[in-house]
Every structure is written in C-alpha cells, then in structure tokens.
Structure 1
Amino acid sequence: VESGSQKGWVASWLIKKKNYNSKSAGRLAEATIVLDPGHGGVDSGTQASNGAMEKTYTLRTALKVYKLLKAKNVHVIMTRHTNKPVALASRPALSNRVKANIYISFHFNSAGEQYAAEGYEVFKYHH
C-alpha cells in the first residue's frame, strides 16, 4: 500500500473485512495468534471437584478469547473448536507453520490439596 511517499502493508486477512478501519486499529490487528484449548477428545485433562473435565474449561475459555480477538480484527487460529482430539505435536507445529506471533495454550492445572495452588503460569520460548 502506498500513500504519497510512504509505503506500508496490510495483512491479507484484513483486506476483506468490512468493519476494519486502519486508522483506529492497533497493531494487534496485524498479529497472528494461535489459541490452543488444551486436551480434548479422550484426553480429558484434570477433573474439577464438581466432576467437570479440564478439556471443557479450556475450550470454553479459548472460544471466549477467540471471539474477543476476532472483534479486534486479529487473525486468530484455533487448534480445535470442538471436543476432538488433537495430536500434541501438531499443536505447536500449526503455530510454526502459520508463523504465529504468539501461541497460547490453555490449561487448568490441579494441585493435590484444596487451595494448595493459585494463579497462572506463563512459559516463553526464545530461539
């Protein structure tokens, strides 16, 4: 894209967006984000005290984040949209293939004792 003597680019996923306004959009709209709802299918993850499986919460959470990011015109890719199994190695492979800016894998870990752990954890890979 050229405007006068300045040159720039527009991400391909934004070209067909009717509600995209480059003047009001932030840099987030230029990002590719892969959301990975952990577990799925026969891999249930941990079980909550009410009997709900981790795979259920990870999918619900990832779908909510997906909707919020799509509303900001972000290019979001999900490793799964339903309760289906996804091979462990294919999850980060997808992220690498699409050259994602960030890969977020959702998990709700458990601790042996009630109230023994709280908070969240973030792992960042540098290469």
Structure 2
Amino acid sequence: MTFRSILLGAAAVALLAVPAFAADYLGGAVKSTDIGGKMVLTDANGMSLYTFDKDTNGDGKSVCNGDCAVKWPPLAADAAVAAEGDFTVVTRDDGSTMWAYKGWPLYYWYEDVAAGDISGDGVGGVWHLAIE
C-alpha cells in the first residue's frame, strides 16, 4: 500500500463523516441537511425544523401559540429582517416574528435535544419535517 492510497482512503473516510449540506439560507442561519436521506431544514446547529398542518400556507400567520408554542417553539426572526427567497417573515399573535419557508411557518420540537433528532416528525399526524 502506497502513501498516496492511504491518504486517499483517509480522505474518503473523512468525507463520509461530514454531514452533507445542500444549501445554506439566511446567511447560514438555516441549512438543508441530509437526515435519513431527506433534505431537512435545520438551524445553524443542526436542529431539525418542522411545519404544522393547521397553519394556512402563505397567510403570514402561525396558529401555534400559547401552550403549543412551548412544545413547538418558533424559529424566531429579528423584527428588522426582510423576506429572502423562499423565506418569509410571519408575525405571531404576541407580536414577535418568525421565519416561514415556502409559506409554512417553521418550528422546533422541544423533545429534539441533539443535532439530527427528528422525534417531532408525525406528532399528532399534523407535524412534519420541513423538507427542502
């Protein structure tokens, strides 16, 4: 075995260990991450983002407020930000703002504790991974 073949083998292993990112959005605050063969939207730390079937696509609102927002915290947006590509800003009932992707508000799931967790997918039949 030559030094070159050892080096190429090590490089191949290193590439397999690095998560694949298809795209960065919002200055890197949101990423498209390959999780289980799906391109899932995550935050910069790799935490999965979700959509809620009870929201109405594109209406600029979130119906997940109060106790719902405790379990499903919104992906907060600074009040001074503006829409960017497929990402828009939604104003919540409490006046705070959050991000939406292709018209769907984006949320975290409180039981996801580590990057790549997807335990919120399918909860109640109305919560789904935000897929690119």
| TM-score of Structure 1 vs Structure 2, range by shorter chain | under 0.3
Query: Which protein has greater RCO, CA pairs closer than 8 Å, 6+ apart?
Result: 1
Q: Taking structure 2 as the reference length, what is the TM-score of the superposition? A: 0.22
Structure whose residues are more often helix by fraction: 1
Q: Taking structure 1 as the reference length, what is the TM-score of the superposition? A: 0.23
